[in-house]
Amino acid sequence: MWGYYAALSINDVSKFLNSFRENIRKTIENFSKKGMDLYDVILEKSFREKIGKFNLEFRKRMADNRFPPGMGLKEASDLSLLLKYLSGRLPLTDFEVDFGVKGTPYNMINKFYGCIGNSINAMARPVDAIKHQAKTVTVGTSRITEKIETGILFDALAAHKFSPAQLTPNNIIVLRNVQEIISAVKGAILYRINGLDLLGEVTDKTTIEIIKKEGVLRPIPSRVEMDKRLKGTKRIIVQEKNVYIGKGRKDNRSMVVTPITSSSHAKTNVIEYLLLLNVEFKNEVPLASKIKALGGKYEKIKNIVQENSVPWENKFIELVDMKELFGSSAEKIGEYIVSHQKLAGFK
């Protein structure tokens, strides 16, 4: 009887894990019904908060020795790491170092289901053995598929032999939203970044070189051809690892610059390429699409306007030319809107 009740105690822990797994499965399904895919889900604040809350309870139970030996050290360690990645506490560029696959949402969710499923099964077996049953706890995973990214910017990446797996989930979302307002890619420059340190950080020895120039950018001279030191805007892009949308300082051309990580397992968290695309914006773009493409820049513009005691209205975005809206800084755009409203008679 002691063995049976001990097994029941172990099984209670498996129920704790199983309940959370089912919660995540239903959450993903609900988001999917709203038209969101896994890239959207893992960046969703409510999803990350749910993961973070469970992680706190999981760590508390581990600290109180409330997990039995049925959950091995590897499973506990892997699950703890996965929860940190899914809650946004660890950079996804390091995921491949820990789990041997790129840190795509699809891979992370699959690894999570596999890890928590193995732990649940291991802790459910004592009860099964005592009852002389051969039952196996079902994995209960969601039917998830890895979305194939398409569109004008992703097609440009594919043309240069790069896959979405070499981008961070946040940059995937940025490109997905921005390409909705782009009508054409007129030229491209592919750069290689050399001399980053072992952590993928920029040093004084970091350099940049041009691999290929295409389209209207082919005949235009580049500073990089004479000076290979990584500096200026491109240095910031490599340091921050974020997609950059702006204008060329000399030629005023609209551009989208995407940092791309290495495909090598030895350099999983290292930005190895920058792909600069000279783009042309659509003439007619719905206001909602502009706001979506602006991303965090929209909030910055809004806050700047409000700081000047001007009540915010989304229609202010329509006052700014597309090239300026996505080429100038939030500060300049905000100041322009404030000036326009004051000239219009706002007090």
CA pair distance 261, 139, nearest whole angstrom: 33
147 inside domain: no
Beta strand segments in 177-270, E: 182-194, 207-215, 244-247, 254-261
Phi, psi dihedral angles at 244 (to 5 degrees): -115, 130
pLDDT tens, position by position, 254-288:
999 999 998 877 776 789 999 999 999 999 999 99
Verify that 166 and 273 share a domain, yes or no.
yes
**Token duo for residue 317:** 């975005």
Q: Is residue 135 part of a domain?
A: no
Token match 């560029």: residue? 93
For residues 229 and 293, membership in a common domain is answered with no
272 and 305 part of one domain: no
Please state, in angstroms and as integers, the Cα–Cα distance from residue 21 to each residue in 7, 12, 27, 118, 137, following that order.
21, 14, 10, 12, 12
The span from the first CA to the last CA of the chain, in angstroms, equals 81
Which residues, 6 or more positions from 215, have their beta carbon under 8 angstroms from its beta carbon?
185, 186, 187, 188, 278
Which band of pLDDT confidence, cut at 50, 70 and 90, is reported for residue 67?
A: low
Phi and psi, residue 251, nearest 5°: -100, -5
| Domain total in the chain | 3
Q: In this predicted model, which residue has the larger pLDDT, 305 or 76?
A: 305
Are residues 117 and 34 located together in one domain of the fold? yes
Residue 71: name the closest of 148, 15, 24 by CA: 15
Q: Can you give the CATH number for the domain in which 178 is found?
A: 3.30.450
In 3D space, the residue among 169, 176, 171 whose CA is nearest the CA of residue 152 turns out to be 176
Which residue, of 229, 261, 281, is where some domain finishes?
A: 281
In the block, residue with structure tokens 């691999």: 211
Report, as an integer, the average pLDDT of 7-22.
Answer: 74
Q: Are residues 233 and 294 located together in one domain of the fold?
A: no
Among 34-38, 120-124, 169-173, 235-239, the minimum mean pLDDT is found in 120-124
CA–CA gap between residue 137 and residue 337 (Å, rounded): 59
- Tell me if 145 is assigned to some domain: no
Q: What is the mean pLDDT of the chain?
A: 87
Q: What is the pLDDT of residue 61?
A: 84
What is the residue type of 326? F
Residue 159 lies in a domain: yes
Tell me, yes or no, whether 322 lies in a domain: yes
Q: Which of 262, 281, 300 is the last residue of a domain?
A: 281
> What is the pLDDT at residue 138?
42
**Structural domain ending residue among the three candidates 99, 130, 161:** 130
Burial 127-137 (b: 16+ CB within 10 A, else e): bbeeeeeeeeb
**Are 231 and 164 contained in the same domain?**
yes
Residue 22 sits in the same domain as residue 114: yes
pLDDT one-digit tens code per residue, 109-161:
999 999 998 888 776 554 454 444 444 444 444 455 667 789 999 999 999 99
Domain contains 262:
yes
One domain, residues 10 and 49? yes
Same domain, yes or no: 55 and 173: no
Residue 146 lies in a domain: no
| Pair 300, 231 in one domain | no
Q: Could you give the 3-state DSSP secondary structure of residue 192? A: strand
pTM: 0.81
CB 156 within 8 A of CB 265: no
User: Residue 244 belongs to what domain range?
Assistant: 152-281
Q: Are residues 291 and 270 in the same domain?
A: no
pLDDT-based confidence at 62, cuts 50/70/90? confident
Do residues 284 and 299 lie in contact, with contact meaning Cβ atoms separated by under 8 Å? no
Count CB-CB contacts under 10 A for residue 205: 11
Q: Is residue 204 part of a domain?
A: yes
Same domain, 276 and 313: no
